[in-house]
Every structure is written in C-alpha cells, then in structure tokens.
Amino acid sequence: MTGIDQEKAAEMLGKVVLAGVSFCNAAGEVIENRQYFGTVLRINEQEGLVIVSGIDGKEVKLPPDLEQYIPASPGTYTLKAIERVVVNPDYVSTWSVHPSGDDREEKGT
C-alpha cells in the first residue's frame, strides 16, 4: 500500500465497520474465521484502521487498505461466531490472512 486516501479516511471516522477475517494455512485452507465490528476511531499508516469494538469496547486494528472497505447495504448482519446482530453498518470488508512467505500474505476481497 502506498499511502492512505485521506479523503476516504475522513469520511470513515466515526462510522461503523463490519469486517470478516479468514486466517489460512500454507495450503490456503481456512483454519479460523473472526468477525469484528465497531466505530472507526482513527486511520494511519502505523496502526491501520482502528475501531473501538462493539463487542468488548477494546481497540481493534484492521488493515489500512481503504479501497477494501465498501459501503454496506442497509440491513441486518449476523456475526455467527458470537451470535451478535449488527444493524445498518456503514462499511463492510473481508480479508484473508496467509502465513509469512506466502505471496498472498494479506488480501482484501
């Protein structure tokens, strides 16, 4: 990534993000899924996109590639892993994380 889109970053501050992250093994098989949601606190090169978790109030750092955060369609989203419902988030994003050495280390989809 080469810099953060400051205009989009400003638009995203204070908005609710829902993100799904799949952790994969070296063969590319998903070994764990995590879901996060919360309000965007800050976005910078050092920390990425930082939200305050809507689950436990802690800060969560997500990847800073803002092109991968797309406007969410209105509706109800269910976080199956924790049986939590999020209504009308502002942005959604999904990510796949691969082990170091894999040329696909972190990709948004």
Residue 102 lies in a domain: yes
Residue 89 lies in a domain: yes
pLDDT-flagged residues of the chain (< 70)? 1-2, 101-109
Give me the pLDDT at residue 81, please.
76
Domains in the chain, number:
1
Q: Could you tell me which of 93, 77, 79 has the C-alpha nearest to residue 8?
A: 93
Give me the pLDDT at residue 41, please.
98
Distance of CA 3 to the CA centre of its chain: 18
Q: What global pTM score does this model have?
A: 0.84
Give me the pLDDT at residue 80, please.
84
Residue 1 lies in a domain: no
Summarised one tens digit per residue, pLDDT across range 57-74 is 999 999 999 999 999 999
Give me the pLDDT at residue 45, please.
92
Give me the pLDDT at residue 1, please.
42
Give me the pLDDT at residue 75, please.
96
Give me the pLDDT at residue 3, please.
84
Task: DSSP letter for 77, please.
Answer: E
Residue 97 lies in a domain: yes
Domain boundaries, position 47: 6-108
Q: How far apart are CA 51 and CA 14, in angstroms?
A: 9
